[in-house]
Amino acid sequence: MHDTNELLKDGPDTVRRLARRRYDLDPAALSDALRERNDAQAEVTRLRTELNRTAKARRSGPPPEAEKEAARALRAEVQRAEAAARTAAARLTDLLLSIPNVPLDSVPDGDSEKEAVEIRRGGPAPRPADGARHHAEIGESLGILDGPTAAKLSGARFSVARGAGARLERALGDFFLDLHTREHGYTEQSVPFLVGRDTMTGTGQLPKFEEDLFRTRVGDRELFLIPTAEVPLTNLVAGQLLDARELPYAFTARTPCFRAEAGAYGRDTRGILRLHQFEKVELVRICAPEDAQAQLELMVNHAEECLRRLELAHRVVLLPAGDMGFAARMTYDIEVWLPGSGSYREISSVSDCGTFQARRADIRVKRPDGRRTPAATLNGSALPIGRTIAALLEQGVQEDGSVLLPEALVPYTGFRRILPGGATE
């Protein structure tokens, strides 16, 4: 969310910057909504003052019937004004909630991954794509991935892992969490997988992405299945005033993630790259706004370290303004090489959201001088387990059909190689 006065103060510059992400800000409509809300609130204040004044004037004795009737009429006016003020405030809030975060000027122009700027590459040299096998084929031949059974249970875009595949999923989650908590300083959290509308709104999933969310309703209680642990992790401190001397906060959690993928019809229907349900380890950092850029670079390194330890070929790219998430003002994608499709594919997005989410979730920082300002929030995947398995299979498959895993996983899996049929050694 935004500070209305700041949006209007910057005027044409804000319009220009939002246009880079293909959002057409209408300053006149925003100014009108702000004026309507302010006028409505001023009318409520005027009428309440008048009501209080007349009440004080009547205290000397019982009021005549005419004064009683005037007081009743004035109270009715106050109620109507309060309803009008709520409507005007809701109209302004709805408008503000629809405006995406303003991209930083250092973010490149463009609308898609084609305009992303490559920053660096890491890991071993990419395996040639010629003759490479897709991870779905490899997983099925090993007996560790079973798409048809998942489809029988739940329909398209679900997966079943068995035997060494299920063990590999568990191992990766433990490996990522141990790395982030023991070496990177994150505090592990166990969080709900179902959250309320206010929680989703706080991080920007609502109202923009309602069609991409799974929800459930029990009686009059509405809950949403989380699309990422970013949602509950960031909202752990919603409505709080944080001591600047204790920042940054660094949280991590492994959770299932649920996404309807409403806009992804026909994309990545084979394999485990784009599922309705998957597991992911998420990182969230909360800091003072002036520290956000340094924290972003740190988080990218934390996510990339997972791939370095797993010996996976990858690259880091800076996303263009038109391809960033709704709440982000700057995003790095880490893309892993998938020889089966002959391309780099996103395995982690690490985003600086500035004060955008903190304003929506009311997360503030108390400065040493007593000032209270919105905090900055950052989030990133480190890493999604399914996409990591896809990369391990495609980059680690051997000529005999087995898959060789990196040495770093052996303490977690108990094996280094998965053989056709699912045996391990």
Which positions are annotated as active-site residues? 259, 274, 346, 349, 387
Q: Are strands 277-287 and 343-352 parallel, antiparallel or unpaired?
A: unpaired
For tokens 């019982």, name the residue: 62
Whether the Cβ atoms of residue 50 and residue 16 lie closer than 8 Å to each other: no
Report how far residue 363's alpha carbon sits from residue 353's, in angstroms, rounded to the nearest whole number.
13
Q: From CA 28, how far away is CA 10, in angstroms rounded?
A: 13
Q: How far apart are CA 164 and CA 166, in angstroms?
A: 6
What does residue 315 show for φ and ψ, rounded to 5 degrees? -145, 160
Q: Which residues contact 10 (CB under 8 A, 6 or more apart)?
A: none
Tokens of 238: 């919603």
In whole angstroms, give the CA distance from residue 346 to residue 4: 34
Q: Are 162 and 144 in contact (CB under 8 A)?
A: yes
CB-CB neighbours of 243 under 10 Å = 10
Q: What residues does 377 pair with on adjacent strands?
A: 286
Q: Are 302 and 89 in contact (CB under 8 A)?
A: no
For residue 285, what are the CA distances in angstroms to 148, 232, 236? 39, 13, 11
